[in-house]
């Protein structure tokens, strides 16, 4: 029996084509490129087999794994994109054997394969960087030290290297020669990537100095920004304002300009309340013994509040009462400064200032607490014989009639 080989099959097929009326040269082209198409079909089938293994076998193994990193690699299609290299590798191996008689065709096909391989590697690198970003997001340090800017820099570097590689493949020159040419265009490159370079430098400084992290409440009047940081990228920082609008601030502006970060407010023991009300000086008076006892009994002012003091005026008694009242509120930090003090009197009365720290520093809850506190203060002032000052209105002024 004769041994069946690819050469025998090709010769038989070529003879059949000649019998059908094709010329020898044309039948030779058909035979050679038919072999190439068969290799291409086998390569595509190999890719789909690899994809089936990834989506069914590898997926089950990943789901059973306790680690999270492999889930992110699968979700971002790192394995699927790497599998796209299989057809190119098989074609590269079989190309010179299949169409060895046509060096020009080999040259163009190899050129296309190399560009294809570079593109697939770029896609795989981008997917891998996206997976790293989400894997890093599982750690606690992700909020305080975001890496989105570094990931974007990595993508830019990958695309620049990939672009240089593809141009060098098309031109048939070494990538080093292209890099040498780009060095002469450094000024133009710096201009094109100015925002990215400044953003990268700013991101490094913000991260290393712990100046900003996702979830921080910042205020930046220059950009009409007052809200919570929701994203830190290479070029911009997104802030959701309290009116639900979103401000996009250049990352470098957070280094070159000033901004106020309220994060330490919570870390330092709560949000500060520093607010005063004006007492009508004409209502301040000395206390008699009966009035003192009735007030103490009515408002349950015990000795611990009085601190063994004998208040002389109704304002002093009110200050002692208010200090004790504030100490009973559970969300006020007793370890931080807490004062009820009198400031410099002026034409509008005597300022009585309340100074304390409220925890937690949630904005809505803080405003609710502040409203309830001053509503209580204004309502109880008359019990102490005090009156808050306000400028006289039309009802307070009566015009004498003659």
C-alpha span between 73 and 176 (Å, rounded): 32
The pLDDT of residue 80: 87
Query: What domains can you pick out in the chain, each with its CATH number?
Result: 6-138 (no CATH), 268-384 (3.30.70)
Residue 379: is the preceding peptide bond cis (ω within 30°)? no
DSSP 257: S
Q: pLDDT (tens digit, 0 to 9) for every residue of the chain, 402 residues total?
A: 344 344 444 455 455 555 555 544 555 556 566 667 777 788 888 888 888 888 888 888 888 877 778 888 888 888 888 888 888 888 777 766 666 566 666 777 788 888 888 899 999 998 998 888 888 888 777 766 777 778 888 888 888 888 888 888 888 777 777 666 666 566 666 676 777 777 777 777 777 677 888 888 888 888 888 888 888 887 888 999 888 889 888 888 888 888 888 777 655 567 788 899 999 998 888 877 666 666 666 666 554 455 556 778 888 888 888 988 888 888 888 777 888 999 998 888 899 999 988 887 677 888 889 999 999 999 989 888 889 988 776 666 655 444
Q: Which two tokens stand for residue 300?
A: 């349950």
The answer to whether the beta carbons of residues 17 and 32 sit under 8 Å apart is no
pTM: 0.54
Q: Does 265 sit behind a cis peptide bond, omega within 30 degrees of 0 on the bond before it?
A: no
Beta-ladder partners of 219:
226, 260
Collapsing DSSP to helix, strand or coil, 332 comes out as strand
| In contact, 345 and 281? CB cutoff 8 Å | yes
Q: Where are the alpha helices (DSSP H) in 193-269?
A: 194-208, 253-256, 263-267
CA 290 vs. chain centroid, Å, equals 64
| Cα distance between residue 264 and residue 350, in whole Å | 32
Cβ proximity of 195 and 156 under 8 Å: no
d(CA 345, CA 281): 9
Strand partners, 220: 225
Report the DSSP beta bridge partners of residue 246: 240
Contact indicator for 394, 292 with CB cutoff of 8 Å:
no
Instruction: Kindly state the DSSP code that residue 334 receives in the 8-state scheme.
Output: T
């Amino acid at each position: 029996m004769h041994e069946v080989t690819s050469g025998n099959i090709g010769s038989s097929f070529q003879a059949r084509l000649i019998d059908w009326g094709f010329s020898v040269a044309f039948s030779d082209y058909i035979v050679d490129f038919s072999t190439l198409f068969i290799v291409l079909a086998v390569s595509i089938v190999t890719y789909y087999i690899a994809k089936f293994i990834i989506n069914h076998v590898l997926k089950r193994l990943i789901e059973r794994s306790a680690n999270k990193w492999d889930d992110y690699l699968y979700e971002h299609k790192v394995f699927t994109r790497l599998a796209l290299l299989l057809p190119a590798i098989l074609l590269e191996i079989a190309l010179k054997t299949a169409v060895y008689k046509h060096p020009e065709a080999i040259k163009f096909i190899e050129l296309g394969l190399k560009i294809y391989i570079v593109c697939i590697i770029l896609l795989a690198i981008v997917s891998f960087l996206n997976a790293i970003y989400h894997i890093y997001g599982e750690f606690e340090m992700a909020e305080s030290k975001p890496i989105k800017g570094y990931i974007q820099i990595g993508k830019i570097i990958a695309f620049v290297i990939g672009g240089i590689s593809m141009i060098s493949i098309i031109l048939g020159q070494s990538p080093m020669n292209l890099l040498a040419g780009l060095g002469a265009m450094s000024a133009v490159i710096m201009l094109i990537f100015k925002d990215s370079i400044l953003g990268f430098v700013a991101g490094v400084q913000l991260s290393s100095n712990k100046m900003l992290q996702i979830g921080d409440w910042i205020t930046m009047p220059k950009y009409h920004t007052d809200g919570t940081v929701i994203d830190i990228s290479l070029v911009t920082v997104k802030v959701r304002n309290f009116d639900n609008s979103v401000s996009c601030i250049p990352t470098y502006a957070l280094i070159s300009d000033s901004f106020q970060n309220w994060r330490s407010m919570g870390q330092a023991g709560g949000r500060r309340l520093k607010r005063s009300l004006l007492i009508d000086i004409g209502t301040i008076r000395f206390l008699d013994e009966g009035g003192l006892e009735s007030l103490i009994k009515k408002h349950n002012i015990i000795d611990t509040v009085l601190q063994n003091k004998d208040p002389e005026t109704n304002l002093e008694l009110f200050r002692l009462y208010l200090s004790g009242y504030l100490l009973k509120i559970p969300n006020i930090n007793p370890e931080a400064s807490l004062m009820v003090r009198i400031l410099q009197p002026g034409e509008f009365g005597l300022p009585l200032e309340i100074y304390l720290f409220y925890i937690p520093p949630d904005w809505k809850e803080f405003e609710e607490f502040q409203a309830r506190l001053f509503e209580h203060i204004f309502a109880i002032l008359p019990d102490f014989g005090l009156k808050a000052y306000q400028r006289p209105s039309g009802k307070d002024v009566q015009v004498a009639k003659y």
